[in-house]
Structure 1
């Protein structure tokens, strides 16, 4: 029952059940504690998961690698990367527990998300030392980490050395090529997937659509979209529709992109309208930009992005009165402009 509750996202009900167990004189075992910790971590309640972790120790049960990994994963999911690495240090140095491949795979996204290559390399080296450097899932995570940190050729080396690959490995490499401008390599890799006895999934198509969009390969992108539906029987998701809109709009086929949005069987989200709006700014189509901005404003009333873009477009077109109205409307709705910022980290 505890496992069933946590699996379905009802960690609080699972905790109530464990309390009832204790009232009836039944002591939770390590599996019960780990299930609770994992459940709350997955819900983003990492501090509560940490409290349970401490209670587990007080109850006389020593946390195992699964317990530690659940805490680490929770911190990573909630973008508390420093805490995740601190927990890893406590796990290895203070408790002497060797991380598993799951632990390493939980930590590598933290390095990728903040492009901390130094830490990523440290984890890679440590994985090799403890004998999990050739693990399928670890290698897939390493490909993703190196690609997101800007080292696409390091990712490529790992991919090429792998004796066995999963669809995750292929997707990570195709995304890496797409995001680094190696569009032809990304598309070529897509056509090689079935040589490994695998079939592309929805993420594979998102990756290859991205490559087609940035490379301006409209016909190929449209053909692959039909292939996804007709041959692989993959029902298009919103991200696929957004990719096709971006593909058409980037190439200046704004009317076709708008018509594509109109006949979509699902309601367009902010990514779909945002793709159209961004292309309208590039190609100077104020009419369609107004339609896209209006829909974006309905979806994200607190966001200033579409308003600012429309104001700039009106000014570019010499429509000063409309630009002024847009600025006044933003002030009336108390929509805030946020100044951009960035930071650099020296890992040398």
Structure 2
């Protein structure tokens, strides 16, 4: 509860006062660190959890630590953890793990590598996976891959106009005014709606 609400100091104190810690408590603390900017602490706590006897790492543990790696751009460490999860702990990657990896690679500008990972996924990518790629394309100005991601997102959430708004912004940045006009006309024709609370896209800072 403390960690989710951002009271990290209180959560940390309570965590270390506990006589026993199970997988859920470790995961909650790692998530708390990762989601509130204490990414180095999240990764360090993951290392402690792995070394502790009797603590079983699960898919949520790796979602938490991969989130931390993504926030601080630790590509190689994130990739090694992604492999560790599969090879040592025999955990099959879920959509959230792939989304973390695409986000991690995309933020670093490795857009083609992120796209290659998506193409190799044994499960169908969801809007969070494609959204991570589109968000990265926006930040790095890759219109070609952005169009690919936007196409898949349009199939997954056809009434969400934010995807078209993002593409229109990308086209404008590139000076492609014909595409800007086409994108806006498409929004009007389809009467697409903007769902600000339902989008995976992170607003650029």
What TM-score range do you get, normalising by the shorter chain? over 0.9
Distance (whole Å) between structure 1 residues aligned to residue 100 and residue 195 of structure 2:
27
Distance (whole Å) between structure 1 residues aligned to residue 79 and residue 121 of structure 2:
14
Write the mapping of 1:232-311 to structure 2, written as runs, cut at 5 A: 232-311=89-168
Query: Which structure exhibits the higher relative contact order, with contacts defined as CA atoms closer than 8 Å and separated by 6 or more residues?
Result: 2
Write the mapping of 1:29-40 to structure 2, written as runs, cut at 5 A: none
2:11 is aligned to 155
Distance (whole Å) between structure 1 residues aligned to residue 111 and residue 2 of structure 2:
35
Q: CA deviation at 1:244?
A: 0.5
Q: Is 1:174 matched up with 2:17?
A: no
2:66–2:78 contact (8 Å) kept in structure 1:
yes
1:212 is aligned to 69
Runs of 4+ in 1 over 4 A off after TM superposition: none
1:89 is aligned to none
Q: Is 1:326 matched up with 2:155?
A: no
Q: CA deviation at 1:180?
A: 1.4
Q: CA deviation at 1:337?
A: 2.9
Gaps of 5+ in 2: 198-205
Write the mapping of 1:101-112 to structure 2, written as runs, cut at 5 A: none
Distance (whole Å) between structure 2 residues aligned to residue 164 and residue 207 of structure 1:
21
1:199 is aligned to 56
1:229 is aligned to 86
Q: CA deviation at 1:331?
A: 1.1
Write the mapping of 1:76-155 to structure 2, written as runs, cut at 5 A: 145-155=1-11
Gaps of 5+ in 1: 1-144, 341-348
Out of 15, 29, 40, the residue aligned to residue 184 of structure 1 is 40
Q: CA deviation at 1:149?
A: 1.8
Q: CA deviation at 1:168?
A: 0.6
Distance (whole Å) between structure 2 residues aligned to residue 319 and residue 258 of structure 1:
24
What TM-score comes out, normalization by structure 1 length? 0.55
Out of 150, 161, 164, the residue aligned to residue 20 of structure 2 is 164
Distance (whole Å) between structure 2 residues aligned to residue 339 and residue 268 of structure 1:
22
2:162–2:195 contact (8 Å) kept in structure 1:
no
Distance (whole Å) between structure 1 residues aligned to residue 112 and residue 161 of structure 2:
25
Q: CA deviation at 1:298?
A: 0.5
Q: Secondary structure at the match of 1:223?
A: helix
Larger radius of gyration: 1
